[in-house]
Amino acid sequence: MTKQSRRTFLDWLLRGGLTAWFASIIYPVFKYMIPPDAPELNISQIEAGTLSDFPKGSSKIIRMGRTPVIVLRKKKGDFKALEATCTHLDCTVQFKTDTEQIWCACHNGFYDVEGRNISGPPPRPLGQFNVTLKDDKVIITKKDLA
Ligand code: FES
């Protein structure tokens, strides 16, 4: 191997190594910036749990596909299921057992137990879901399918 061809070979090796090193840094950055294709799960009904999972005055947040749903059992014992995303800026709401209201901690927004916006910045009521009891199971269904 001549001196010139050795130098050419080392140049090629160095460039290839630098290119591979650069690609190993850039590729994960691009993969992070471009979200993967995740099709919307077409779930229309989900089991939220059993009756014993919901003592009177309690709540639980479940997911129907990508949509968080707050399932609550009022003090009287009847159920309600509402979209758990605040209509103001999409924070997750929570159930306040003592006042039986739904509260958004982000900007102190309040909804009544039926999901109507009653104070604070939320501009619209929360979306509604149907709740049915089948044997001991609490079944949540999208409103337009019931
Ligand atoms: S995001 Fe809920 S009140 Fe602002």
Q: What's the 3-state SS for 27-52?
A: HHHHHHHCCCCCCCCCCCEEEEEEHH
Q: What's the mean per-residue pLDDT of the chain?
A: 92
Task: Say which CATH superfamily domain 45-145 falls into.
Answer: Rieske [2Fe-2S] iron-sulphur domain (2.102.10.10)
Q: What is the mean pLDDT of residues 119-140?
A: 96
What is the CA(35)–ligand 1 centre distance, in A?
A: 26
Angle at 64 between CA 92 and CA 121, to 5 degrees: 25
Q: For residue 103, report the distance from its CA to the centre of ligand 1, in Å.
A: 9
Residue, of 36 and 135, whose pLDDT is higher: 135
Flag whether the pTM goes above 0.85.
no
Ligand 1 pocket: which of 86, 92, 96 to mutate (most atoms within 8 A of CB): 86
Helix (H, G, I), strand (E, B) or coil at 135: coil
Question: Taking the domains of the chain in order of start, what are their residue ranges?
Answer: 1-37, 45-145
pLDDT at 146: 46
Res 85 pLDDT > 90? yes
What is the distance in A from the centroid of ligand 1 to the CA of 111? 11
